[in-house]
Amino acid sequence: MPGVKDAGDSALLLELDAVIDAQVNAHAIAIAAVVRAQGIRGVRDVVSTFRSVAVYFDPLIADAAAVRAALERAASSPGDVHGGRYVEVPVAYGGEFGPDLEGVAAFAGLTPGQVIERHAAADYRVFMLGFLPGFAYMGTVAPEIAAPRKATPRLRVPGGSVGIAGPQTAIYPRDSPGGWQIIGRTALQLFDPARSPATLFAPGDTVRFTPSPDAPVPPPVPARGAEARFAREGGSRTLTVLRPGLLTTIQDRGRWGHQGIGVSVSGAMDLASHRTANALVGNPADAATLEATLLGPELRIDQDTMLAVTGADLSASLDGTPVPLDTPIRGRAGAVLRFGDRRQGTRAYVACDGGIDVPVVLDSRATHVVSAMGGVDGRPVKAGECLLLGPSAPRLPLKAPGRPTRPAAGGVRVRVLPGPQDDYFPAAAFEVLQRSRFSVSTQSDRMGYRLQGGRIPRAAGREMISDATFAGAIQVPASGEPILLMADRQTTGGYPQIATVITADLPGAAQLAPGDWIEFEICSRADATTALIAQEGRLRAIG
């Protein structure tokens, strides 16, 4: 029987095999379809990969044991495996569109024309989507042209680029860094969140590349920004961004249900502070707030608005008067909200009654900068733009709660559950994990924190296939220096995940900045559940 593993307290991972194989992959796709069709209460996402199925759920709603049982039943009898679509992709090979074609030819001992013939002669299976929205991992490439990834990745690979990495081939949906060998380019639009379905490919599809003499011209993607919407609707309440701060984005509870097509969940890093801010001004929990990082923005309130600031203490003031954290206040028309020195924490949340009203993209308003999705054209806010606010909430704002628990100055100790790839590590690795005090390096962002201060050993001679990733998972690359995955993490990754931070402790981790420390402590699922119930009780006391 395939094994079901914990991936923290809010996800399970069913592992089928350790190989890239069409039958194994078809089995995973069928299992995911069966579990998805059951509509289990509290399940947020069901994702198939090369050789596994990940189920993400709300541990306060879903019964983890019932989800585990559903996975095991589906694995033992997944039902019929239906074939996917057949998609032809026209490609302009070589030249400026395929700068690595000659290098692949040299690797294979072939001419560039022979490489094209071999690449275009095969039907490729779409095994899974990940890395970027719409990025399909396809295989398998003819062995003679299966050139390895570049030693040094490019900082920018143009969208539509067709690449090879060992036995796999793929198309970059948008401009991004990348290390695949680029042999051509297509004009097809692989991902459009306004289209249904949003992705050109789905797991189980078959793809054939066809040489095309025409230069690829990608179709224009229309801007869907808040400015255009404000211009159409006029009136209403707004905030004007006078200064944007270091990194200020629009966030909500995240973009669940789309990880299977490579779309990151994103959302607020500190979901507890985000939820508190909304409750204080009478908003529903899924209303959008502003997330300010380290150096906050300067915002003019254009009409009377109820607001609250939670999370990090970044010395907020309204027209020069200090703004107490976790307290609803009335902002009069023309008042200016400013932030100053960082006293504690990293991310502050600004909620306004009615929420920040930007277009919903794939069920969420959350900004994911890497894929340019959500918020205002998928980017941080800019000076001079007006942000629409929604209608005022019908219920009254709440009184300030008691002082919530905040991370200790300079660092935090968090609890973890082992896995899901804990079998890739010797016992000594867990000793290093728990006895080390790691520091957050400057190479850290909303995708993940690169940690320094200890090297976690991995089992010798074991490498894993790219698999699903999880919020709070601790990835360990070959260097041994761990990476703590956060809200904007890629949906798939190729490094084993030794342990996963429990849901109740993620808000504390979210408030860390470069130079801060973090320690890890292994706990049980029962401990994780108790901690989350206690946190939920505190949040419900607010509203």
Distance CA 326, CA 403 (A): 8
C-alpha distance from residue 363 to each of 197, 360, 374 (Å)? 14, 6, 10
The two structure tokens encoding residue 34: 């069966």
pLDDT at site 362: 96
CATH code: domain 86-211 is: 2.40.100.10
- Residue 467: its H or E element: strand 467-468
* Correct CATH for 3-76 of 3.90.1310.10, 3.30.390.30, 2.60.320.10, 3.30.1360.40: 3.30.1360.40
Cβ-contact 182, 157 below 8 angstroms: yes
Q: Give the model's pLDDT for residue 204.
A: 95
Q: What distances in angstroms separate CA 21 from CA 81, 167, 247, 448, 515, one per listed residue?
A: 14, 12, 42, 30, 43
| Number of neighbouring beta carbons within 10 Å of residue 334 | 11
Looking at residue 219, its pLDDT comes to 61
Q: Where in the chain is the domain with CATH 3.30.1360.40?
A: 3-76
- Largest separation between any pair of C-alpha atoms in the chain: 73
Alpha carbon distance 64, 9 (integer Å): 8
pLDDT at site 19: 80
**DSSP structural state of residue 198:** S
Q: What is the per-residue pLDDT for 398?
A: 59
Tokens of 174: 């948008």
pLDDT at 75: 93
Q: Which of 296, 399, 400, 289 is nearest to 352 (CA)?
A: 289
Q: Which CATH class is domain 411-542?
A: mainly beta
Q: Are 147 and 164 in contact (CB under 8 A)?
A: yes
Q: Is the peptide bond before 197 cis (omega within 30 degrees of 0)?
A: yes
- Start and end residues for every CATH 2.40.100.10 domain found in the chain: 86-211, 411-542
* Residues of the chain scoring pLDDT < 70: 1-2, 78-82, 218-235, 393-408, 543
Write down the pLDDT at residue 78: 67
